[in-house]
Amino acid sequence: MESVLALSPDSPVRSIAREVLIHGPISRSNLASRLGLSGASLTRLSKPLLDAGVVRERNELVSGGVGRPTRPLEIVPEAHRFVGIKLSGTSAAGVATNLRSDALATAERLLPSHEVRDVVATILAVIEDLGGAAQFSGVGISIGGKLSADGVVVRAPFLGWRDVPLAQLIEAEVAVPVAVENDVVALTMAEHWFGGGRGETDFAVLTVGAGVGYGLVLNDAVIAPPDAGLGLLGHYPLDPSGPLCFEGHRGCSSAVLTIPAICAQVAATTGQQCRYEDILDLARAGHPVARAVMDAAGTALGTLIAAVGNLTMVDLVVLSGEGMELAGVAPERIDAAIAKHRDPEATPIRLKRQPTDFGEWARGAAAVVIQRSILGTLR
């Protein structure tokens, strides 16, 4: 399939496409007001999008504020399809999406090894499982680690990679644009345009799973400097009497919040290895050890949320990740910790829970290539 928009990155047509994608269906008067355009300019600039079938008019009439009612503009989700792939240490989980990042199909393959050639071959196999590269307008790949702007994996510890030009390697095989991004940055981009942060200009994303991740949106832009892929919030100090993390930090977020850390704490006290899901169930049932560990984790999470709100001055925090179910097990501890560490006159922090499995992480990868296609930043 051809690229989404064959326009220069600074073209105002792209701004129209972005606004319709995020805020549509949207009336022409509202759209013109948001972009500072006259009605005539909006009509002229939106014509290429209408002609290309990327944007359409809805059938129903709505009030445009002045004059006769108009048909609002909306994106045509089926106009383009994309692939998103979440790369972990064990598998490549893929999803096919439309232009709104809605999941259409999923596929997953285990990695035979961490060798670059094997990982590339697995990614290509997942793309084939989803219909083949010719069916898509772009491929997005998310990976835990530090990435360069041109899709080079600078560091991915769980794969043992350094300086791997992953975007270039995949693009040479699929002949469509490829975007590679840190997994938490990708998820933040998805939340910004399509998820819990849609319509918000300032918010943070916190993820808990195998690690602790942090994303930030300020002034309607995702903040993603090179160090965003280093997982710096994973070692934020939370409990001076807590356990040690794998790098020797006492009571940091990795030591008290992650799935491996919680499982290790329960095992150390009970002498039994339990799955995270079982620990959650035990805590709900009042098991003393599981309950104590989850309560402590809830206090730590609330402390971390308050720190993010205090330091960034955002009042919305989107909670995600495979381990974030602890927010449903210890909500009172979270709320109490937030209140303890916030000024009582500060704007209350809003929390939004977003379910996240590997399919959602893959959808985040698709959101990256969708955004960069719309914004014209893909090569």
Distance (Å, whole) CA 122 – CA 360: 19
Backbone φ and ψ of 235, nearest 5°? -120, 25
Give the C-alpha separation, 328 to 221, whole Å.
29
Q: How far apart, in whole angstroms, are the C-alpha atoms of residue 15 and residue 375?
A: 8
Contact 1, 134 (CB under 8 A): yes
Provide the edge-to-edge strand list for the sheet that holds 138-143: 103-110, 91-97, 82-87, 138-143, 178-182
CATH: 3.40.50.720, 3.30.420.40, 3.30.70.20, 2.60.40.1120. Which one for 198-353?
3.30.420.40
* Separation CA 191–CA 216 (nearest Å): 10
**Those residues with Cβ within 8 angstroms of residue 243's Cβ, 6 or more apart along the chain or in another chain:** 250, 251, 255, 256, 261, 264, 265
pLDDT of residue 68: 57
**Residues 145-154: contacts with CB within 8 Å, 24+ apart?**
145/182, 145/229, 146/182, 146/226, 146/227, 146/228, 146/229, 146/230, 147/180, 147/181, 147/182, 147/229, 148/226, 150/379, 151/178, 151/179, 151/180, 152/180, 153/180, 154/226, 154/229
Question: For the whole model, what pTM was predicted?
Answer: 0.88
For position 67, what pLDDT does the model report?
A: 52
Judge whether residue 69 has pLDDT over 80: no
Q: Note whether 54 and 69 are within 8 A (CB).
A: no
Task: Name the nearest CA neighbour of 185 among 133, 157, 226.
Answer: 226
Q: Is the confidence at residue 84, as pLDDT, over 90?
A: yes
CA nearest neighbour of 111 among 126, 128, 89, 130? 89
Residue 4 clears pLDDT 70, i.e. is over it: no
Interatomic CA distance for residues 80 and 325, integer angstroms: 34
**Ramachandran area for residue 160 (φ above 0: left; ψ -120 to 50: alpha; else beta):** left
Is pLDDT above 90 for 64? no
Rg from Cα positions in the chain: 22
Strands 138-143 and 178-182, sheet pairing:
parallel
Q: Tell me how crowded residue 227 is: count the other CB atoms within 10 A of its CB.
A: 9
- Long-range contact pairs involving 149-154 (C-beta distance under 8 Å, separation at least 24): 150/379, 151/178, 151/179, 151/180, 152/180, 153/180, 154/226, 154/229
* Distance (Å, whole) CA 72 – CA 6: 24
pLDDT of residue 324: 93
Tens digit of each residue's pLDDT (9 = 90 or more) over 298-337: 999 999 999 999 999 999 999 999 999 999 999 999 999 9
Domain ranges of the chain: 12-78, 80-189+359-375, 198-353
SS3 125: helix
Segment 163-169 shows an average pLDDT of 97
pLDDT (0 to 100) of residue 7: 54
Taking the C-alpha atoms of residue 306 and residue 233, their distance in angstroms, rounded to an integer, is 13
Has domain 80-189+359-375 been given CATH number 3.30.420.40? yes
The class (CATH top level) of 12-78 is: mainly alpha
% of the chain surpassing 70 pLDDT: 93
Q: Model confidence at 71, in pLDDT bands (50, 70, 90)?
A: confident
12-78 shares its CATH topology with 80-189+359-375? no
- Predicted confidence band of residue 2 (pLDDT cuts 50, 70, 90): low
pLDDT category at 10 given cuts 50, 70, 90 is low
